[in-house]
Amino acid sequence: MDLTYRPRRLRRTSALREMVRENSLSPADFIYPLFVHQGSEEEEIGAMPGAKRWSVANIMREVERAWGLGIRCVVLFPKVSEDLKSEDGAECFNENGLIPKAISLIKNELPEMMIMTDVALDPYSCDGHDGIVSNEGIVLNDETIDQLCRQAVVQAQAGADLIGPSDMMDGRVGAIREALDDEGFQHVGIISYTAKYASAYYGPFREALDSAPRQDSGKIIPKDKSTYQMDPANSREAITEAQLDEQEGADILMVKPGLAYLDIIYRLREESELPIAAYNVSGEYAMVKAAAQRGWIDERSVVLETLLSFKRAGADLILTYHSCDAAGWLGDLKS
């Protein structure tokens, strides 16, 4: 054939492919989610093979392992005892609570490790929602934000580097920014869950924290989170959320879930100059693990391809439960 241009010329050898590769993965791209509980030992999470709930006493072992693999940021999620949960989630701003203790420990032992936190009421709520639920079954926006601001300040006091509001209340980024600044934490960043969808992919995470909405409290409880998390059918709305978060002072914008919402990552990348994060959520992780355990897929290849897809769509950072495995595999490829 008389072809002037043959794209396969640049695919001929591995060296050529590396030379013209448009996107790449690094362990420094990953934010590693860690579950913390009040027990004395780590616990396996049934729906998330390979993931554990770590005790405060033992969490440093995993944090140091992640650091050794090149991961430079962890995000902490608490599994709170039932007796500490309440309608207003007040345990979220207990200075001696689970997350402040874990933050302080990590910063004392490995101060270089960046720590991101989660700001929402669902782990602390006896109703299982990200905000305060009224007796009429309405998730209250402004009243919830008051609690979130107190939570964010306590986390910053403990040593958090990045505050992650995941609640999807209107105006919470600006309120948290003001609260942090008023307390002298101008240096603490906000990584906002900007486009967080009311997704079916969160099931394993809610099992890990026992944080799903509850229908047994004796009052009206919304069965899902669709009055504050975004409708999966909408994409233009994500741009509105991103513009608002930027105006309110967010430093990083995040899309959750990641894999089913690559188009949203791409749209925010086109609209914003801020760093974009993708959350490779628990359901996405669990599906890969389940298929790999059955021998249906090659886990390593699928995970690295999936994580690369987030970078290709425009993400700068990736929250993923695959962090340590992926970092190790990337190291193997270089050796």
Query: Which residues are catalytically annotated?
Result: 196, 256
Distances 121 to 80, 90, 248, 254, 256 between C-alpha atoms, Å: 11, 8, 21, 19, 18
Tell me if the bond preceding 257 is cis, omega within 30° of 0. yes
- Tell me whether residue 296 is exposed, middle or buried, using C-beta atoms within 10 angstroms of its C-beta: 0 to 12, 13 to 18, 19 or more: exposed
Token pair of 211, please? 């944080």
Residue with tokens 């430093």: 251
**What DSSP state is assigned to residue 271?**
H
Question: What region does 10 belong to: left with phi over 0, alpha with psi -120 to 50, or beta?
Answer: alpha
Question: What are residue 73's DSSP bridge partners?
Answer: 114
